[in-house]
């Protein structure tokens, strides 16, 4: 067996082109890459520090504390502040979703909302469908509730493998579908409108509930906001 000594290995260097960066470029680069107390995370749906109006938030908090005082320390209604529920209902109405504020529940986060929704329509041992890939914590909630899971592939063109879902519904007693139709996490795909309508038709045929996560739709860059399945 031949032995190759380290000193005999030729050194290979890749020649990279020289990029000229002006002062404006360097200033913007330093601004966008400025280190903060917390490193940037790409696995959570949170805005960067530069996008958060910290002074405005602080000033608003101070105004609310002065106005509300000790009442802030008391319990709010279990379904959430009425003013906030009315505002959400109004905003949803602007996007084709007619809702009564009394039908809205304010939760501490998306996972609590998912847990409440699943508990409302399923019991331990039931079968639920979920788009795949999905956020891992969604599967954790389903495991905690002792639900059986069927993963429906996300289609790279239409946003959802509708034929796979149709077959799964025929062969299984699926109680609910958990789906993110717009700017799907983690793929970023937007489901086509015709697929959304077909999902609704299949759900009505098999009497299953749709738990729709539409939290990303306001991130659109086109002229029109993507429609939700409900709308």
Q: 163-212: per-residue pLDDT in tens?
A: 999 999 999 999 999 999 999 888 889 999 999 999 999 999 999 999 99
Cβ neighbours of residue 217 closer than 8 Å, sequence gap 6 or more: 95, 182, 183, 225, 226, 228
pLDDT at residue number 168: 94
- Smallest CA-to-CA distance from 45 within 179, 159, 139, 186 is with 186
Q: How many CB atoms lie within 10 A of CB 212?
A: 20
d(CA 127, CA 46): 31
What is the Cβ-side half-sphere exposure of residue 17, based on CA atoms within 13 angstroms?
A: 3
Contact between 196 and 203 under an 8 Å Cβ cutoff? The reply is no
pLDDT digits (tens, 9 = 90+) for 36-47: 445 566 666 777
Q: What percentage of the chain reaches a pLDDT higher than 70?
A: 81
State the average pLDDT over residues 207-223: 88
Query: What token pair was written down for 86?
Result: 């009315």
Residues 6+ apart with CB under 8 A from 158: 191, 192, 195
- What DSSP character marks residue 74? S
Question: ∠ CA 200-158-175 to the nearest 5 degrees?
Answer: 35
Q: Which two tokens stand for residue 107?
A: 């939760």
Highest mean pLDDT among 15-19, 171-175, 214-218: 171-175
Residue 202: closest CA among 172, 225, 222:
172
Checking if the pLDDT of 14 tops 50, the result is no
Residues 6+ apart with CB under 8 A from 172: 127, 150
Spatial separation of the C-alpha atoms in residues 177 and 202, rounded to whole Å: 11
């Amino acid at each position: 067996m031949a032995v190759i000594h380290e000193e005999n290995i030729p050194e290979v260097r890749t020649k990279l082109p020289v990029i000229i960066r002006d002062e404006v470029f360097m200033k913007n680069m330093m601004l966008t890459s400025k280190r903060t107390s917390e490193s940037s995370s790409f696995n959570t749906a949170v805005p960067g520090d530069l996008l958060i109006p910290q002074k405005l938030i602080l000033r608003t908090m101070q105004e609310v504390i002065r106005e509300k005082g000790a009442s802030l320390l008391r319990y709010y209604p279990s379904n959430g502040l009425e003013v906030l529920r009315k505002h959400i209902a109004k905003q949803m109405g602007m996007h084709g979703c007619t809702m009564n504020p009394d039908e809205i529940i304010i939760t501490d986060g998306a996972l609590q909302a998912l847990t409440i929704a699943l508990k409302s329509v399923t019991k331990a041992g039931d079968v639920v469908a979920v788009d795949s890939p999905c956020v891992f914590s969604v599967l954790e909630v389903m495991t905690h509730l002792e639900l059986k899971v069927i993963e429906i592939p996300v289609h790279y063109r239409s946003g959802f493998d509708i034929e796979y879902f149709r077959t799964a519904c025929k062969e299984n007693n699926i109680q609910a579908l958990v789906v993110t139709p717009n700017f799907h996490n983690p793929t970023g795909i937007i489901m086509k409108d015709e697929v959304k309508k077909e999902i609704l038709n299949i759900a009505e045929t098999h009497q299953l509930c749709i738990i729709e996560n539409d939290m990303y739709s306001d991130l659109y860059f086109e002229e029109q906001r993507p429609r939700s399945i409900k709308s």
